[in-house]
Chains A and B, each alone.
Chain A
Amino acid sequence: MDGMYILSKDHLRSFLRKINKANRLVAPIVNRHGDTLFSVIDDLDYAPYEFNQQSQNGIKSFFFPQQETIATYSSQDGDYSFTAPSDEPEPTVYFGVRSCDLMAIMHMDDVFMGEIKDQQYMAKRQQAILIGLNCNHPFENCFCNATKSGPFLGSGFDLQFTDQGDNYLVQVGREKGAALLKQWNQFFTPASEEQIQNQYQLSLEAMANFQLNVHADQAIQRLQNGQVPEEIWQSLSLRCQDCGGCAFICPTCTCFTIVDRKLSADHGIRLRNWDACTFSGFTRMAGGHNPVHHKTQSIKQRFMHKLCHDVKEHGSPSCVGCGRCVDICFGGVDIVRFIKMAGED
């Protein structure tokens, strides 16, 4: 099934219930503290899913967990051997994923399924169906218009929903989405020309609704031309509190570390953990030498990688304009601040 369909909002829960029978379901849920977070839905009948707030997390951690076991090892009787974890990821439908977070997954695919096929990531990714939700109303810190990663997407999803008041316009992306639609076709009716036109109208209105005015292109160009003075890195690095919050909340930050955890004298597990290039220990070598001068350069790699190196390598920045780092950084060293400073003469 190609093309555009309509799902009445009255049928959303029934549709989700059907797909939940064969799939784990992940969607933005309001927890008891009032936080909206992408979470696994345990009981759909009582799940307070929330599509009017920006989820505080992206869906990165479902594919690239904050900590995961990449091997178990044993070392005894002259044998030192490693075994891959045997757990198979569950088939999972991610529902209500915003354009920025979908673009972030496309970026992660480049990292983990490019030249190197990371088995841990790929296993989870192959079991995923991504259902996007276009953004009619960008949130306070959003600037995906500047990073060309929203608010409406043309690809990167299996299905994409657009809120049209009492119904959703449903667009088919990849094969998995078409199959899902075909399987549950009783919920969908073909969209009228008017409804399809309405999506275009909504996308134009969304573009006009951004509160921030971020000139990412200008900053990218100045970085490429070497026009960003060292003083900017220095002044921002001095304000960085070394908390790693920006990297952890960022849906495209994928730097990691690998550590062994001893479980007994002769066996243990090897873990992969999120890491942040802003940490002083990120580049410190055995013996103490550090090629990055932490006080003056700690944030340089972060912004160079996102706005310059990845543009060179992949054709687009690895910032998707979700704005989450703006709120999380108490040093004010977020990417919006940097882009503004880099653009000034």
Chain B
Amino acid sequence: MQTIATENYLPQSAIIHKIINENSQIKTFEIVFANQAVHDSLKYLPGQFMMVSVPHCGEAPISFSSSPTRTDAICLSVRKAGQLTSAMHDLKAGDNLGLRGPYGTPFDMVSLKDRDLLFVAGGIGLAPLRGVINYCLDHRNDYGQIFILYGSRLPSDIAFHEDIKLWQQESGITCLLTVDASEPGWDGSVGLVTKLLADINIDPSKSSGIVCGPPMMIGATLKELSNRGFADENLITTMERYMKCGVGICRHCHLDDKLVCTDGPVFTRAQLKTMDVAELR
């Protein structure tokens, strides 16, 4: 797999092609590399991430929210949380970013073949799953039924409206939303995202669950799915940690004896259960 700047940490110049405001806190950046040959050489899979540089702000790891099947631009969806992500939110189309990667172990899209897929996302957790979902849509015959359960804090926090609209129109896909607390005008479900499990009919023996969201949500959802009969090998999540190098040396992203940047960020519940992991405590 072609990787940019693994050994000297030098990012490549990239240009923001378009910015989509997903909600008040999340923006999706459509990005192309300044050098066309670099852009064309980029090979990645859903679940991997890029180290993103913003002038004078350092670097942060951001998961792909795009599928590699859509090659015009890569997408990084970013919630405004710290210094670098705030600086990203101040950028506009045409501005530059530095990118190196892709890094990390991706979702095993081959072993997911022919299975029914249950995606459970909370908040910005839908960003990395968006890449997987769109990958599956672009290889529609390879995968079974798709269920997407998406929880947000408030109705006004719901992001990725365009994607959700497309998913809800697609046959063979069930996409349900819920919010933790209602606001005027919301007539949908209220409650934790796991509540939506009651509204779908899924056979755990031929399904895989793919979960991403806040730490508490990940732990609770994996446990709930396990209780409903999903095998630990078929429960998959992607972890978030502070990171500096992205290539397995700086050790900021330690997860017991593993590193999120190289051993992850994608882990099965079976893997996580052998480790001391905050999310599962």
* Chain A residues engaging chain B, CB cutoff 8 angstroms: 70-71, 73, 75, 78-84, 111-112, 115-120, 254-260, 262, 266, 268, 270, 275, 277, 282-287, 289, 291-293, 301, 304-305, 308-309, 312-313
Contact = CB atoms under 8 A, between A and B. Distances in A.
Given A80-B13, A116-B247, A285-B240, A291 B96 contact: no
Chain B interface main SS type: loop
A283 B140 CA distance: 39
Contacts of B85: 286
Interface residues of B, number: 42
Interface in B1-47: 6-11, 13, 15, 34
Contacts of A115: 248
A213 B174 CA distance: 65
Given A78-B96, A309-B257, A283 B10 contact: no
Contact of B248 (A116, A258, A275): A116
A259 B13 contact: no
B244 interface: yes
Q: Which 10 A-B residue pairs are closest in the complex by CB-CB distance?
A: A286-B82, A80-B96, A75-B55, A286-B81, A291-B278, A287-B81, A309-B257, A262-B56, A119-B8, A82-B10
15 contacts: A79-B96, A81-B13, A82-B10, A116-B6, A257-B252, A258-B58, A260-B55, A266-B55, A268-B56, A275-B250, A282-B242, A284-B242, A286-B81, A289-B215, A291-B278
B249 A254 contact: yes
Interface in B57-86: 57-60, 81-85
A112 B58 contact: no
A78 B55 CA distance: 12
B98 interface: yes
A102 B43 CA distance: 40
A308 B96 CA distance: 43
Interface in B212-266: 215, 240-242, 244-245, 247-252, 254, 256-257
Most buried by B among A83, A112, A268, A309: A309
A270 B59 CA distance: 10
B97 interface: yes
A312 B256 CA distance: 12
A119 B245 CA distance: 13
B172 interface: no
Question: Which of B58, B82, B249 is the most central at the interface, judged by chain A CB atoms within 10 Å of its CB?
Answer: B249
